[in-house]
Amino acid sequence: MILEPGFFASTPVQIALIVGGGAALVSGVVGVFAVLRGQSFAGHAFADISSSGGAVSFLLGINPLLGFLGMAVIAAGGMELAGARLARERDLVTGIALGAGLGLTALLLYFDVTTRSTTGVAITVMFGSMFSIPASVIPLALAVGGAALAVSAVLYRPLLLASLSPELARVAGVRVRMIGLLQLLVLAFAVALSAVTVGAILSTALLIGPAATALSLTDRPASAIAAAVAIGVGAVWGGILLAYDSFYWTPGHGWPVSFFIVSLVFLFYLLATIQERRRKRRRKAAGCRGGS
């Protein structure tokens, strides 16, 4: 049976569907731009650094999304201040910041375990535990997600132009630096939201996976965003369903939701890649080549 009894009636499941669905929606939109601008590594670094915020939120007993969000925004601001323009330099600075953030998380998680003896905090912060999300997260999640989507919508055209060529954008009168900074903030918001659901370490999978899959399926930015959202939400809701069902496979214990979600993301990516390779091979065999 796919839909085990009590699925929709269960409160933790409802919360997971709402918060997880929202995170997938935002990650789909923001992820396409992140992949477009070569910010996959930066997104991953934001997530790792935000884990320290997640760890501290358990220590202080505050809303975990607030903790993740605070540190993610600090990471975004730091990256902008560091002002590394060239790709290799950016890679370097990002890697160093990532390490520092995770080191801090190690310390804070240690405090969590020793001072509050909350077991499983490390798993929750790093890999998420979607059925234990407190309902108090929902209002903030809606606000954060809504803000990220609204800003993305407003910046849509100039951001596309600046991603194509900052020079061309500048000639058209676009404030390239400002929208770049705003986009980093939106990335931080998306990362925080997905960190609360699938944990800091896996949040990159939700950000990049559906976007990368979508980009191999379509040539248009708008379609890519729609596809990324559909794939992300599908993976999240599918993962929640499978995790709920897994309670019945090994009675009393369920497998982690984030494992199912990321597995589905990976599966979709594999399927899309196989299909794309097949399409390319067919096109080559037919002798069509673009340009001359």
Partner 1 sequence: MIDGWEEEVLSVDRVSLAFAGRPVLEDVSFSLGGGAFCGLIGANGSGKTTLLRAILGFETPARGSIRIDRAGGDRRLLSVGYVPQKIALDPFMPLRARDVVALGLDGHRFGLPLPSRQSRSRVDAMLKAVDAERFADQRIGTLSGGYQQRVLIAHALVRQPRLLLLDEPLASLDLRSSAEIVTLLRRFATVHRIAVLLSAHDINPLLGAMDQIVYLANGRAASGATDEVIRTEVLSRLYGYHIDVIRVHGRILVIASDSPGKILTEIAEHPEHVAAVP
Find, among 202, 260, 181, the residue nearest to 50 by Cα.
Answer: 202
- Taking alpha carbons only, the member of 209, 206, 221 closest to residue 273 is 209
CB of 125 to partner 1, least distance (A): 33
Q: How far is the CB of 163 from partner 1 (least distance, A)?
A: 8
Question: What gap in Å lies between CA 180 and CA 96, rounded to an integer?
Answer: 21
Cβ atoms of residues 185 and 30 within 8 Å: no
Q: Which is nearer to partner 1, 179 or 200 (CB)?
A: 179
Nearer to partner 1, 43 or 70 (CB): 43
Query: Least distance to partner 1 from the beta carbon of 235, Å?
Result: 20
Select from 149, 159, 275 the least CA-distant residue to 213: 275
**In the complex with partner 1, which residue's Cβ is closer, 4 or 167?**
167
Nearest to 232 by CA among 255, 251, 259, 214: 214
Closest Cα partner for 127 from 8, 243, 268? 243
Q: Which is nearer to partner 1, 71 or 231 (CB)?
A: 231
> Which is nearer to partner 1, 58 or 268 (by Cβ)?
268
CA dist., res. 261 & res. 242, Å (int)? 9
Interface residues with partner 1 (CB under 8 A)?
A: 32, 36, 153-158, 160-161, 164-165, 167-174, 215, 218-222, 224, 290-292
Nearer to partner 1, 61 or 173 (CB): 173
Q: Measured from the CB of residue 174, what is the shortest distance to partner 1 in angstroms?
A: 5
* Ramachandran category for residue 207: left, alpha or beta (phi over 0 → left; psi -120 to 50 → alpha): alpha
Cβ neighbours for 240, distance < 8 A, ≥ 6 positions apart: 13, 16, 17, 20, 130, 257, 260, 261
In whole angstroms, the minimum distance from the beta carbon of 88 to partner 1 comes to 15
- Nearest approach in angstroms of CB 94 to partner 1 is 19
Which residue lies nearer to partner 1 by CB, 106 or 178?
178
Pairwise CA distance, residues 186 & 151, whole Å:
7
CB of 155 to partner 1, least distance (A): 7
